[in-house]
Amino acid sequence: MSGPIRRVGVVGGGQMGAGIAEVCARAGLDTVVCEVDAAAARAARERVAGSLDRAVRRGKLPESAAQDALARLVFTGDLTDLADRQLVVEAVVESPDAKTEVFAALDKIVEDPAAVLATNTSSLSVMRLGRVTGRADRVVGLHFFNPVPVLPLVEVVTSLHTSADTVAAAEEFAGRTLGKTVIHSRDRSGFVVNALLVPYLLSAIRMAESGFATAADIDTGMELGCAHPMGPLKLADLIGLDTVASIAESLYDEFREPLYAPPPLLQRMVEAGLLGRKTGRGFHPYDPYDPY
């Protein structure tokens, strides 16, 4: 790969994928977002357009910059449209099967053998994803945080196969091009942030589950007693309870520590489709039209 990364692909246009695509476009990059079909691609475009509009209304972004960013974005339902990309970020559902399927397909589609294939996984093994390709040295974790246009951190996660050149390209992209703060993590479930955060969230869920305190009081206690900007149950709702459960399961599978085991209440809420902000109800009720 010659020169800086200017052509980016994002696989998945949900909450995280749309956010990643938005920050890429706002950074002046030619960005293609791929979804499962044309209808999902249209929904992804609406998601990004809505986020840009909110940034304009809140005085965070000039309207001209929002229009320019949207013009840099292409939305498609065909993975082969990513063939010429220098970097592709996978941001599909937190499922090993779904992610390995994407990486196996990208390995055949992305033409440049030096292109970087990145995963936005919260907890899964980067090495396992890389091994389904013929270019495991070019596979790296780029873990963004929700909401991507607002939160400044990216975890760069390297597997035993990831080359030094790939790490350097990923750090240059996330740090210099996107203006994010980069921290590094080894390829262990949860990486840095979620390995510390998820046990805290699960502890709060267990407290609510036992009737020890209400969800509102748990959140208020941590916000006003510990100066946290958001209580643990509100944060779990923002992340998505399905994602929290998936990360917890991955952590528990790797470490077998009881503190990582997802509580029954969390599992039942996921089964019921009460996933937090994105569904309008989790531990608290939400306006589904106000994602942040």
Per the structure block, which two tokens stand in for 271? 């089964």
Structure tokens at 51: 């986020």
Burial (CB < 10 A; 0-12, 13-18, 19+), residue 148, is buried
Q: Which of 111, 109, 48 is nearest to 74 (CA)?
A: 48
Spatial neighbors of 26 by CB under 8 A, at least 6 apart, are: 61, 65, 69, 149
Backbone angles phi and psi of 116, in degrees to 5: -95, 130
Q: Which residue has the tokens 């800086």?
A: 4
Q: Which of 87, 106, 111, 84 is nearest to 169 (CA)?
A: 87
State whether residue 93 is helix, strand or coil. Answer: coil
Q: Which residues are catalytic?
A: 122, 143, 155, 194
Across 24-104, the runs of DSSP E, i.e. the strands, are 30-34, 73-76, 87-90
Give residues with Cβ within 8 angstroms of 21, minimum separation 6: 10, 13, 31, 33, 44, 48, 73
Buried residues in 211-249 as b, exposed as e (16+ CB within 10 A) = eeeebeebbebbeeeeeeeebbbbbbbbbbbbbbbbbbb
